[in-house]
């Protein structure tokens, strides 16, 4: 048996209750005595580390699971495993902030294309031109006067409305996996995790273009590599969906391949619809 004697804590006065306490914690409010080291820079650094390290650990673990094990986060949510990971809504919002921060330093625009590009460089530009002409006639402005207003507003709208893609995919999932009888919340979380992955994936070409610009590379890289990047992003999305639907929905074989093709096609359609509806929304709110 050890001869070491554990000393009783010295009496101290609880600053909250203003009473004398002889235990390590105040029995009324849970307050504890402040150690001398806590009032030093070292103590303050320790408190900051303790405050943020659990969040950082969960965030890193969530990102690693999202990228390295598609479907794991949604499956964990379905099983009730919450503590090890950041919640799906928080993860999506943080990634949204990251994506638009990266896009701000890159010349490549994925959702925030200027008005001139929308009228000449994307599908449906003829219809878009009709909408713009009607809006210019209503405001009495020229295209040159209105374009800067639109470009600034569409950047704001793209950030705040990007979540619209989530329910569109979430409503499709019960139709694709109608035999699996998953709760609606699982479909929403799966959609949130997928679009979180997609935003991370979009950061790759954005960073590549930013580095190319910083190093003085060819200015037309984003134009010459656009098709290759589009194909790479499409294949990556298809691979993610193929891997993710197995742990969440339990699909196998030919059905899994067919469901992946359906979802990939739907994701492309939702992406194009979202990019286009930013035009009328921004037109009629500026």
Residue 116 lies in a domain: yes
Whether residue 18 sits in one domain with residue 93 = no
Whether residue 98 sits in one domain with residue 184 = yes
Residue 213 lies in a domain: yes
pLDDT at 165 (0 to 100): 94
Whether residue 94 sits in one domain with residue 24 = no
User: For residue range 223-251, what is the model confidence (pLDDT) as tens digits?
Assistant: 666 667 778 889 999 999 999 999 999 99
pLDDT at 246 (0 to 100): 95
Whether residue 102 sits in one domain with residue 11 = no
CB 128 within 8 A of CB 119: yes
pTM: 0.76
Residue 79 lies in a domain: no
User: For residue range 114-152, what is the model confidence (pLDDT) as tens digits?
Assistant: 888 888 766 667 888 888 888 889 888 888 889 899 988
pLDDT at 227 (0 to 100): 67
pLDDT at 56 (0 to 100): 60
Whether residue 28 sits in one domain with residue 98 = no
Low pLDDT (below 50) residues in the chain: 1-8
Whether residue 233 sits in one domain with residue 138 = yes
pLDDT at 232 (0 to 100): 85
Whether residue 136 sits in one domain with residue 15 = no
Q: How far apart are CA 192 and CA 163, in angstroms?
A: 9
Count of structural domains within the chain: 2
pLDDT at 267 (0 to 100): 95
Whether residue 247 sits in one domain with residue 118 = yes
pLDDT at 160 (0 to 100): 86
Residue 132 lies in a domain: yes
Domain containing residue 200:
87-283
Whether residue 141 sits in one domain with residue 19 = no
Residue 17 lies in a domain: yes
Residue 59 lies in a domain: no
pLDDT at 107 (0 to 100): 78
Residue 77 lies in a domain: no
Q: How far apart are CA 96 and CA 87, in angstroms?
A: 14
DSSP track, the chain? ---PPPPPPPPEE-TTT--EE-SSS-TTT---PPPGGGGSHHHHHHHHHHHHHHHHHHHHHHHHHHHHSTTHHHHHHHTT--TTS--HHHHHHHHHHHHHHHHHTSS--SS---HHHHHHSSTTHHHHHHHHHHHHHHHT--HHHHHHHHHHHHHHHHHHHGGGHHHHHHHHHHHHTTTT---HHHHHHHHHHHHHHHHHHHHHHHHHHHHHHHTT--TTHHHHTHHHHHHHHHHHHHHHHHHHHHHHH---HHHHHHHHHHHHHHHHHHHHHHHHHHHHHHHTT-
């Amino acid at each position: 048996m050890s001869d070491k004697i554990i000393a009783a804590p010295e009496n101290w006065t609880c600053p909250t209750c203003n009473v004398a306490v002889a235990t390590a914690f105040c029995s009324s409010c849970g307050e504890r005595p402040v150690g001398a080291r806590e009032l030093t820079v070292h103590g303050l650094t320790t408190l900051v580390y303790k405050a943020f390290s659990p969040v950082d650990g969960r965030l890193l673990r969530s990102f690693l699971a999202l990228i390295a094990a598609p479907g794991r986060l949604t499956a964990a949510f379905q099983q009730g495993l919450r503590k090890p990971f950041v919640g799906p809504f928080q993860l999506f919002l943080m990634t949204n902030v990251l994506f638009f921060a990266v896009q701000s330093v890159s010349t490549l625009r994925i959702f925030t294309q200027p008005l001139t590009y929308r009228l000449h460089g994307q599908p449906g530009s003829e219809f878009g031109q009709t909408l713009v002409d009607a809006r210019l006639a209503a405001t009495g402005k020229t295209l040159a006067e209105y374009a800067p207003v639109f470009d600034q507003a569409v950047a704001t709208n793209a950030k705040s409305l990007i979540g619209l893609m989530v329910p569109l995919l979430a409503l499709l999932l019960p139709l694709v996996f109608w035999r699996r009888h998953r709760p609606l919340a699982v479909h929403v979380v799966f959609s949130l995790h997928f679009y979180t992955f997609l935003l991370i994936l979009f950061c790759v070409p954005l960073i590549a273009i930013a580095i190319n610009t910083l190093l003085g590379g060819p200015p037309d890289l984003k134009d010459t590599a656009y098709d290759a990047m589009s194909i790479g992003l499409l294949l990556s999305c298809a691979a993610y969906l193929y891997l993710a639907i197995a742990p969440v929905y339990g699909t196998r074989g030919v059905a899994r391949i067919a469901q992946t093709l359906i979802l990939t096609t739907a994701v492309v359609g939702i992406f194009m619809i979202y990019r286009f509806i930013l035009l009328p929304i921004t037109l009629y709110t500026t």
